[in-house]
């Protein structure tokens, strides 16, 4: 009888780890030459500025900062990314892969090996306040202030001396302090263990135990650490699946949602520890199956349901539920796709897709193998028969709220055009633009004192413009089609042209109210016949 996987004993090391200590000025050259590597299954850097400052302050004061753990094995040539630092590393047989300590090593490398640029924020040591801070490098020193020592010059003692010569107004005390900071950082001893083994599972077990006993990682980070591949298998981990999905133009999926989709595809509970239930031999196939299911999900969300971008999706539950559905039924009937669309929109409009654990479990339980149309009917039964009472309220717009996202879908359905050129806007590109206000306001400041200014009536699906330019674009265009694509009537334009901001907002709110109601009714199809296809109701006489 086979031993259950959960009862398998962890592998042993053939030889004890080697205990060493590296000075920082010994450690970082190894990073530069590509001897020290961060494997792809490590979690992304999560430290904030305050964490990095505390880390350097601990080094300066001689506090312990934890032990590093390396895995010695061969490494291919490649471009290494450590935060903002990129290194072209050659292949080598004795590379030290970071198992624990990525954030510490990345912070050291990014801070001490980075280039000093006047227009970028970087860590400095304030020689007056005697503390580490983040600031932009300054080209000139203000006479009334002491210069701040950039950390990018302290690793190399000669470079530090050059910096001191370039600042002759420093007094003896400040010069001594700067030299002391550099010496303390360069000579700080970082303890480490180096493990030599050919068994990758040994390192995963060690990593799992280390990171489950301290500040816990998110489940998807633990998955990448335990099951992410160092080989060329594609996709290699959740981030790779998410990256491939983002290439479809729907926007980036969160690793956590991809992980939940994988658990759903595998039929595993989303609210329990997965590490004993999922064997590493199953992972490559599970990642491929999840990627395929997510691709079908994205096609459905865009083409069938009309969500142009993931930012417009009010809840993430559908991503997980649809992934399981399309895994079980990769090519569903047209009738099933139509009814799934109704389930999605009715559930969203009725606020029944919030993603709470119980709700997620109920929805996933509806999907049963070899019962496509029964699965759809069970999902429809959870969607409710009416929208939420406040779904049509246009006040208090906030894009993070589900109601506001759904109302933005109504705006997108109008086919918004550029207010200046009249060209159709690419809604997907609009929501993919980094750092932009996705649904900017029309009126701001004193022009936005009317109570409607906080609602949808004061928002447009359009690239952000300064207030004056936005008003000018609306009031000077003669293209009624362009105005209508933003639910702006000729009367509303005239009110804005006359300086009547309140009148403009009132007229646009009335127009949007009708637009939103019609759109939601059309999407929900509340009174439609939801019966399954005729073929599914034919009972064989055999």
Same domain, 170 and 243: no
Query: Which is more confident, 16 or 454?
Result: 454
Range from 199-213, 284-298, 331-345 carrying the lowest mean pLDDT: 199-213
φ/ψ region of 517 (left if φ > 0, alpha if ψ in -120 to 50, else beta) reads: alpha
So what's the pLDDT on residue 272?
Answer: 74
Within 13 Å, how many C-alpha atoms sit on residue 133's CB side?
Answer: 13
Contact (CB, 8 A) for 341 and 301: no
Residue 481, pLDDT above cutoff 50: yes
Q: What is the mean pLDDT of residues 37-42?
A: 67
- Tell me: pLDDT of 244 over 80: yes
At residue 73 the predicted structure's pLDDT band, cuts being 50, 70 and 90, is confident
- Identify whether residues 105 and 241 lie together within a single domain: no
Same domain, 159 and 192: no
Structure-token match 């489940």, residue found: 219
Average pLDDT over residues 70-89: 83
Label residue 3 exposed, middle or buried (CB < 10 Å: 0-12, 13-18, 19+): exposed
**Which pLDDT belongs to residue 226?**
59
Give the per-residue pLDDT at 117: 65
Q: Is residue 194 in a domain?
A: yes
* CA 74/CA 76 separation, integer angstroms: 7
**Between 170 and 12, the higher pLDDT residue:** 170
Q: What is the mean pLDDT of residues 510-524?
A: 95
Residue 209 within any structural domain of the chain: no
Torsion angle, alpha carbons of 48, 71, 58, 183, to 10: -120
The pLDDT value given to residue 140: 40
Contact 515, 412 (CB under 8 A): no
Contact 440, 458 (CB under 8 A): no
Residue after which a domain boundary falls, among 348, 382, 416: 382
The total of structural domains in the chain comes to 4
Q: How many CB atoms lie within 10 A of CB 33?
A: 12
Residue 367 makes CB contacts below 8 A (sequence gap 6+) with 321, 324, 325, 328, 375, 378, 379
Non-local CB neighbours of 11 within 8 Å, separated by 6+ positions: 199, 201, 202, 205
Mean pLDDT of 148-153: 94
- Inside any domain, residue 48: yes
Q: Residue 135: count other Cβ atoms within 10 Å of its Cβ.
A: 12
Mean of pLDDT values over 73-101:
85
Q: Is residue 103 part of a domain?
A: yes
Q: What is the pLDDT of residue 494?
A: 94
Q: What does pLDDT average to over the chain?
A: 86
- 154 and 300 housed in the same domain: no
Least confident of 85-94, 152-161, 402-411: 85-94
Confidence of residue 1 (pLDDT cuts 50, 70, 90): very low
Q: How far, in Å, CA of 247 to CA of 264, rounded? A: 22
Residues 236 and 354 in one domain: yes
- Exposure on the CB side of residue 213, measured as CA atoms within 13 A: 7
pLDDT tens string 447-478: 888 889 999 999 999 998 889 999 999 999 88
Please check whether residue 325 is in contact with residue 375, taking contact to mean a CB–CB distance below 8 angstroms: yes
Q: Give the residue numbers spanning the domain of 339.
A: 218-382
Q: Are residues 63 and 146 in the same domain?
A: no
Q: How far out from the chain centre does Cα 496 lie? A: 39
- Is residue 396 included in any domain, yes or no? no
Q: Within 10 A of 304 (CB to CB), how many other CB atoms are there?
A: 14
């Amino acid at each position: 009888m086979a031993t259950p996987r959960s009862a398998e004993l962890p592998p042993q090391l053939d030889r004890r780890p080697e205990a060493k200590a590296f000075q920082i000025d010994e450690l970082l050259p190894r990073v530069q030459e590509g001897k020290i590597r961060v494997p792809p299954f490590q979690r992304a850097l999560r430290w904030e500025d305050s964490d990095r400052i505390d880390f350097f302050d601990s080094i300066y004061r001689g506090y312990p900062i934890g032990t590093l753990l390396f895995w010695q094995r061969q490494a291919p040539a490649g471009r290494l990314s450590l935060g903002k630092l990129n290194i072209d590393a050659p292949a080598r047989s004795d590379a030290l892969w970071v198992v624990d300590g990525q954030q510490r090593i990345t912070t050291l490398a990014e801070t001490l090996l980075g280039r000093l640029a006047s227009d970028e924020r970087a860590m400095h040591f304030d020689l007056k306040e005697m503390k580490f801070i983040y600031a932009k490098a300054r080209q000139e020193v203000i006479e009334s202030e002491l210069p701040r020592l950039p950390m990018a010059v302290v690793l190399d003692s000669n470079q530090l001396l050059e910096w001191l010569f370039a600042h002759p107004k420093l007094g003896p005390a400040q010069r001594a302090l700067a030299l002391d900071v550099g010496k303390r950082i360069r000579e700080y001893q970082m303890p480490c263990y180096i493990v030599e083994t050919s068994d990758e599972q040994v390192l995963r077990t060690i990593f799992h135990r280390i990171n489950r006993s301290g500040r816990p990682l998110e489940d998807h980070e633990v998955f990448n650490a335990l099951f992410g591949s160092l080989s060329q298998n594609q996709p290699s981990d959740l981030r790779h699946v998410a990256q491939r999905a983002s290439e479809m133009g729907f926007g980036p999926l969160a690793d956590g949602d991809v992980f939940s989709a994988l658990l759903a595809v595998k039929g595993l509970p989303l609210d329990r520890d997965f590490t004993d239930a999922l064997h590493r031999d199953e992972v490559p196939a599970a990642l491929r199956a999840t990627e395929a299911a997510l691709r079908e999900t994205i096609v459905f969300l865009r083409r069938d349901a009309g969500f142009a971008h993931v930012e417009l999706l009010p809840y993430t539950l559908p991503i997980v539920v649809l992934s399981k559905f399309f895994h079980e039924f990769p090519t569903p009937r047209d009738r099933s796709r139509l009814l799934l669309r109704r389930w999605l929109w009715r559930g969203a409009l009725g606020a029944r897709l919030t993603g709470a654990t119980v709700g997620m479990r109920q929805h996933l339980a509806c999907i049963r193998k070899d019962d496509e149309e029964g699965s759809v009917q069970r999902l429809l039964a959870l969607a409710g028969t009416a929208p939420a009472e406040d779904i049509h309220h246009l006040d208090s717009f906030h894009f993070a709220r589900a109601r506001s996202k759904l109302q933005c879908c109504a705006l997108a359905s109008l086919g918004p055009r550029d207010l200046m050129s009249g060209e159709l806007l690419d809604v997907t590109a609009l929501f993919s633009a980094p750092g932009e206000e996705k649904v900017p306001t029309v009126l701001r400041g004193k022009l936005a004192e009317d109570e409607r200014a906080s609602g949808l009536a004061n928002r447009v699906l359009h690239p952000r413009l300064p207030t004056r330019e936005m008003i000018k674009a609306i009031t000077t265009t003669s293209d009624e089609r362009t105005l209508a694509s933003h639910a702006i009537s000729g009367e509303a334009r005239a009110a804005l042209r006359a300086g009547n901001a309140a009148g403009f907002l009132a007229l646009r709110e009335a127009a949007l109210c009708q637009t939103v109601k019609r759109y939601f009714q059309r999407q929900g199809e509340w009174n439609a016949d939801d019966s399954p296809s005729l073929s599914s109701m034919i009972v064989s006489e055999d």
